[in-house]
Amino acid sequence: MARPRAHVLVVEDDPATRDGLTALLESWGYNASAATDGRAAIKVCAKELPQAIVTDLMMPGMNGLELVEALGERVQQVTVIVLTGQATIETAVQAIKLGAYDYLTKP
């Protein structure tokens, strides 16, 4: 019997990046879904909390840090990785303090 695939939620406002990352995760055997911003991600998480969330930092509406903060206690149950093209030490420290597992810069 096949093992259930881990669910990874990709939260990204740029369609090309969102679609590319989702396709890559699926090719690696993950069950990947996508949300366009933090608010949409919260709705997905209310239905079913994924095992991991890969979120962009800078998005309209609710950004990646606000998403991590909004997850509150649930952030301890899910691995959150914050991706950004505009990395700063301050936002990296803030992301980790809020409960993110890692903070990575986009190439």
Whether residue 1 has pLDDT greater than 60:
no
> Mean pLDDT over residues 14-42, rounded?
96
Number of domains observed in the structure of the chain:
1
In a domain, 85, yes or no: yes
In a domain, 12, yes or no: yes
What's the mean pLDDT when you consider all of the chain?
Answer: 93
In a domain, 1, yes or no: no
In a domain, 72, yes or no: yes
CATH number, domain of 98, equals 3.40.50.2300
**Domain boundaries, position 18:** 7-105
Give residue 94's pLDDT: 95
CA nearest neighbour of 8 among 101, 105, 84: 101
Q: Which residues contact 54 (CB under 8 A, 6 or more apart)?
A: 8, 9, 10, 11, 12, 21, 25, 81, 83
pLDDT in tens, 34-57: 999 999 999 999 998 999 999 999
* Coil/strand/helix, residue 31: strand
> Mean pLDDT over residues 71-78, rounded?
83
Backbone torsions φ then ψ of 25, nearest 5 degrees: -60, -40
CA nearest neighbour of 19 among 105, 27, 48, 66: 27
In a domain, 2, yes or no: no
Strands (E), the chain: 7-11, 31-35, 52-56, 79-84, 102-105
Q: pTM of this prediction?
A: 0.91
In a domain, 18, yes or no: yes
In a domain, 28, yes or no: yes
In a domain, 25, yes or no: yes
